[in-house]
């Protein structure tokens, strides 16, 4: 059996293991170990198994992950998200559909600290859904806004998935994080426009809110937003200006989050312990995936499958845009069945060489790829964001949540096409860093 066939069978086996709900890291290690042994023998396979975990876990560049995770966890468990929602609500909540727009705005700002789809969705849904129910918002609209807002968690920096993409492809992590800012803002604007169109077409979706905050109250609420903005400006702004490396920025962000939590008198021992516990668990989960992804990538490299596929695509003489659309459509379909983090580590070793061979920018494609995978978090049967919301709002039928998310999915597709037509929207900020 040729190495290329072993590589193809390895990918098929990995997809089956994912669908069987075998842990991602374990699946990657098993397939990588078995595939390497078939091509090079058990001695080489076990040598890589012994060396790779230490080499991966001891990498300095990976220290950015636990630090950014800790920053998000500290602010999540101190309850600052509620103050953030009140602040955004005071400014736009009086508009028809204003609470829904405030939900999207809150998710966008919280994403700038969290970096996680699940954390953003869970936190925002707990804060905003009861408030929208209080004002008789239709569940289809309220849950759609929470689900859409949650997807911003892996686009707006600091994004854990973009960091993983950078580690796997060796694209500059700082540039990847900065590249997500403008697409994130565009997506927020598109989501808000969709809300405005929906409530204009059907006013019963979002009854007008009678109360309106005074100018003094609006500015008073801004004091609850400044810790989020300060941390974003210090950490992400520091990366952009070249003051910090991504790891240094993550460290400053984590210490800053702890400082703001202490001075706001919201961080007690139990919350601090819970933040550290959750950070350690999530970091261990991600590191296991990274170790597995390294072993799996080594297996694909010796199988020569990525090289063969790249040569095949080059020989087809197809328009590069056509190949890109096909790849994105495949990512969307796979995203309906496989969780985003798993899909990144599965497809990057195969897709990335093809994208570079076609002449596309690696940083630009990272943003496009994450957005395409993001759509799968809102579609059945996987729909991670939808099931997170269902866990918080158990009384809302799952069909209602999925149906409500359809306009937001259309908005995400529109955003992807905008970034394909105008790639400068992604690349302009990273280019100014150089």
Which residues, including other chains, have CB under 8 Å from residue 14's CB and lie 6 or more apart?
27, 28, 31, 296, 346
- Confidence at residue 87, expressed as pLDDT on a 0 to 100 scale: 81
Picking from 25, 44, 28, the residue whose alpha carbon sits closest to that of residue 36 is 44
- Condensed to tens digits (0 to 9), the pLDDT of residues 79-96 reads 777 777 778 878 877 778
- Confidence at residue 96, expressed as pLDDT on a 0 to 100 scale: 80
Would the CA dihedral through 58, 62, 63, 66 be positive or negative? negative
- Confidence at residue 136, expressed as pLDDT on a 0 to 100 scale: 87
Write out the H or E segment, with its range, that includes residue 288: helix 269-303
- Confidence at residue 245, expressed as pLDDT on a 0 to 100 scale: 87
The whole model's pTM is what?
0.83
Q: How many CB atoms are closer than 10 A to CB 202?
A: 12
CA angle 318, 410, 110 (to 5 degrees): 110
Picking from 55, 68, 84, the residue whose alpha carbon sits closest to that of residue 239 is 68
SS3 content of the chain, % helix, strand, coil (to 5): 80, 0, 20
Neighbour-count burial of 329, counting CB atoms closer than 10 A to its CB (0-12 exposed, 13-18 middle, 19+ buried): exposed
In the structure encoding, which two tokens stand for residue 375, read together? 């759509």
- Confidence at residue 115, expressed as pLDDT on a 0 to 100 scale: 66
CA distance 385 to 56: 30
Q: What is the CA radius of gyration of the chain?
A: 22
- Confidence at residue 413, expressed as pLDDT on a 0 to 100 scale: 95
- Confidence at residue 427, expressed as pLDDT on a 0 to 100 scale: 94
356 with 368: CB under 8 angstroms? no
HEC-encoded secondary structure of 115-133: CCHHHHHHHHHHHHHHHHH
- Confidence at residue 355, expressed as pLDDT on a 0 to 100 scale: 93
- Condensed to tens digits (0 to 9), the pLDDT of residues 163-184 reads 889 988 989 999 999 999 999 9
CA distance 252 to 133: 38
- How many angstroms from the chain centroid is the CA of residue 235? 18
Return the exposure string of 116-141: e unless at least 16 CB atoms fall within 10 Å of the residue's CB, then b.
bbbbbbbbbbebbbebbeebebbbbb
Q: How many CB atoms are closer than 10 A to CB 61?
A: 14
Please list the pLDDT of the chain residue by residue as tens digits (434 residues). 788 899 889 989 988 888 888 888 899 899 999 999 999 999 999 998 889 888 888 888 778 888 888 887 887 777 777 777 778 878 877 778 888 998 998 888 877 777 677 777 887 888 888 888 888 899 999 999 999 988 888 888 888 889 889 988 989 999 999 999 999 999 999 999 999 999 999 988 988 766 677 777 777 777 777 887 888 888 888 888 888 888 898 899 889 888 888 887 888 888 889 889 988 888 888 888 889 888 988 898 899 888 888 778 777 777 888 889 989 988 888 888 777 878 888 889 889 998 998 899 999 999 999 999 889 888 887 788 888 888 888 889 989 999 999 999 999 999 999 999 999 999 999 998 75
- Confidence at residue 432, expressed as pLDDT on a 0 to 100 scale: 87
Residues in the chain, overall count:
434
DSSP E strands: which ranges in 328-387? none
- How many angstroms from the chain centroid is the CA of residue 374? 7
In the structure encoding, which two tokens stand for residue 299, read together? 């297996």
DSSP letter for each residue of 159-191: PHHHHHHHHHHT--HHHHHHHTHHHHHHHHHHH
């Amino acid at each position: 059996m040729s190495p290329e066939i072993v590589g193809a069978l390895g990918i098929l086996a990995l997809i089956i293991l994912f669908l069987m709900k075998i842990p991602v890291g374990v699946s990657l290690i098993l397939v990588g170990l078995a595939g390497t042994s078939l091509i090079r023998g058990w001695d080489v396979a076990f040598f890589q198994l012994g060396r790779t975990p230490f080499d991966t876990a001891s990498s300095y560049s990976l220290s950015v992950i636990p630090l950014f995770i800790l920053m998000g966890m500290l602010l999540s468990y101190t309850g600052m998200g509620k103050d953030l929602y009140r602040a955004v609500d005071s400014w736009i909540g009086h508009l028809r559909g204003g609470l829904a727009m405030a939900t999207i705005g809150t998710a966008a700002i919280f994403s700038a600290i969290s970096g996680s789809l699940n954390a953003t969705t869970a936190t925002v849904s707990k804060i905003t859904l009861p408030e929208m129910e209080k004002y008789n918002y239709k569940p289809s609209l309220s849950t759609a806004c929470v689900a859409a807002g949650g997807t911003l968690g892996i686009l707006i920096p600091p994004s854990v998935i973009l960091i993983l993409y950078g580690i796997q492809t060796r694209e500059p992590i700082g540039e990847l994080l900065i590249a997500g800012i403008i697409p994130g803002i565009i997506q927020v604007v598109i989501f808000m426009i969709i809300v405005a169109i929906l409530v204009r077409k059907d006013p019963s979706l979002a009854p007008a809110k009678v109360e309106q905050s005074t100018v003094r109250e609006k500015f008073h609420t801004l004091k609850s937003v400044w810790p989020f903005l300060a941390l974003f400006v210090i950490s992400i702004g520091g990366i952009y200006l070249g003051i910090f490396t991504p790891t240094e920025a993550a460290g400053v962000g984590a210490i800053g989050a702890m400082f703001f939590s202490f001075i706001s008198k919201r961080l007690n021992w139990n919350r601090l312990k819970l933040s550290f516990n959750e950070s350690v668990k999530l970091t261990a989960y991600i590191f296991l995936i990274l170790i597995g992804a390294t072993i799996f990538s080594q297996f694909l490299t010796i199988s020569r499958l990525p090289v063969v596929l790249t040569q095949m695509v080059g020989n087809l003489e197809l328009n590069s845009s056509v190949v890109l659309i096909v790849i994105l459509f495949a990512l969307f379909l796979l995203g309906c069945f496989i969780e985003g983090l798993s899909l990144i580590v599965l497809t990057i070793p195969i897709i990335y060489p093809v994208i570079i061979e076609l002449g596309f920018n690696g940083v630009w494609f990272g943003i496009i790829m994450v957005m395409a995978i993001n759509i799968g978090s809102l579609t059945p049967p996987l729909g991670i964001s939808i099931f997170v919301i269902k866990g918080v709002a158990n009384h809302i039928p799952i069909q209602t949540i999925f149906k409500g998310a359809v306009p937001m999915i259309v908005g995400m597709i529109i955003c992807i096409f905008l970034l394909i037509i105008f790639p400068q929207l992604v690349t302009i900020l990273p280019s100014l860093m150089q």
